[in-house]
Amino acid sequence: MAEVVLSGYYGFDNLGDEAVLYAIVSALRRENPRLNITVLSNNPQKTESLYKVKAVNRWKLKEVAGALRRADMLISGGGSLLQDVTSPTSLLYYLGVIWLAKIFKKKVFIYSQGFGPVNRPWARRLVRHLLQKVDYITLRDEVSAEDLRALGISRPPVVVTADPVLGLSGSPVDKNKGMELLRQAGADLNRPMVGFALRRWRGEEVYLPAVAELADRLMEEGALPVFIPFHHPEDLEAARQIMKLMKRREAVLLKKELTVEEMLSVASCLDLMVGMRLHSLIMASACGKPVVGLSYDPKVDRFLKMVGAPPAFELPDIDWDELYRLVKTRLGEGQTPEEQSRLAAMSERAQHTAKLAIRCLEE
């Protein structure tokens, strides 16, 4: 029976990356229900429980090497793994896993990653050297493909597909779960609900008050702000800071760490998502909801451009009046037909990534 190892930022209680894992596992199982999947995780026990896969400790070389020896292929991704902005250490980790797989003569499939930026000259050389040894590369956006070509990657095949989480578009969602979670948090389900998925970042002394002002104005007009942390505890603290800055106190905070299925259910209950976190925008879009982006990273801008949504507001300086006007417009109009069409096409491309991975495995 075929076996693959999944490498990514898994087991760190980051809801966006957990959604990527959930989507990849789901897509692979649709293509090959008998596939054995082992995940390199920061929390193997939790990963096994949530996704019904085998998991090993990503920090224990013996366990990682053992998993790769048993496997037929390494799947690296998705997410933004090959970049040195977060830190060069994380880049070295993911390249090290790829190198180890190749030492064991295993196939390597890059799964719908967002590539870059890779700024350090030594890092660019190392990425170029190792990526030309992998078997197949799929990327989630065209800009990533352009950056990879600029790096001088001449082989293997490079295909632009879509973020794995977009493959969840149209999947059955139990909306009752989300309604119950919101009710338990104190939400009035009869009011229009606007989700906020924010994080700590440079210049927060400027943009957090702007968001607080927006939330107050929305409440004055009858809407209900719902703050949804995607990464605990950092995002929880950002939400609490905003709520302290607000004049009104009815806003809702979802303190509970949500599973991917719970987040999809909550997103299906919202009327709009205002997000810094990329996968808050992707998950809301997959549930048919309009989104407004606050950009701290090019990946947010790339996604909004791909789906035909309005451009993101660049942080930290936000024109509060413009942000308010766009939120009101999006609340009134919902997703446009163009967005719906593009999202449907991207959902198909996201599933196609799994088909390419299984084909690579079986060749």
Helix (H) or strand (E) holding 314: strand 313-314
pLDDT at res. 316: 83
d(CA 65, CA 7): 12
What is the number of other CB atoms lying within 10 angstroms of the CB of residue 53? 21
Q: Tell me the CB-side half-sphere exposure of residue 110, using CA atoms within 13 A.
A: 33
pLDDT at res. 32: 97
What are the chain's domains? 3-160 (3.40.50.2000), 175-344 (3.40.50.2000)
Q: In what order do the strands lie in the sheet with 313-314?
A: 252-253, 224-227, 193-197, 272-275, 291-295, 313-314
What is the number of other CB atoms lying within 10 angstroms of the CB of residue 184? 11
pLDDT at res. 318: 83
Q: Give me the DSSP letters along 82-98.
A: S-SSS-HHHHHHHHHHH
Q: Tell me the CB-side half-sphere exposure of residue 184, using CA atoms within 13 A.
A: 10
Residue recorded with tokens 């040195």:
84
pLDDT at res. 60: 98
pLDDT at res. 46: 98
Residues of the chain with pLDDT under 70: none
* Confidence (pTM): 0.94
Bridge partners of residue 252, in order along the sequence: 226
Q: 350 is written with which tokens?
A: 């996201």
